[in-house]
Amino acid sequence: MTKEEIIRNIWNQLPDLTVNDARRAYEATINLMKDRLSKGEYVELRGFGTFRVREKNQRVGRNPKTGEEAVIKERKVITFKPSKEFKMKVMEGNNIS
């Protein structure tokens, strides 16, 4: 699903909004999440999941092509942990008979 598809779905579900209102709501939500995560805070969306920033230490890795060792610098990564409700929804959608 693309950004535009999400905006169109918001607009379809909330007919009192214009497409531009839906776009602004989407942008405001995403920008707020980016802002909080960039400050090291977590973002919890009940029923969906939690985004957190995690620090990874420097370590030695290997180039998969050459096998040569290389230092991987310390860095921050964003992790996502889905809620139980979301996991169940995904599992229900994967019932292949």
The percentage of residues in the chain with a pLDDT greater than 90, rounded to a whole number, is 90
User: Do 47 and 86 touch, CB atoms closer than 8 A?
Assistant: yes
Q: How confident is the model at residue 96 (pLDDT cuts 50, 70, 90)?
A: low
Q: How far is CA 17 from CA 24, 30, 31, 57, 67, in A?
A: 10, 18, 20, 46, 55
pLDDT tens, residue by residue, 55-93:
999 999 999 999 999 999 999 999 999 999 999 999 988
Question: Residue 94 phi/psi, 5° resolution?
Answer: -100, 15
Residue 41's closest CA among 74, 76, 3, 75?
76
Which domains does the chain carry?
Answer: 1-36 (no CATH), 42-97 (4.10.520.10)
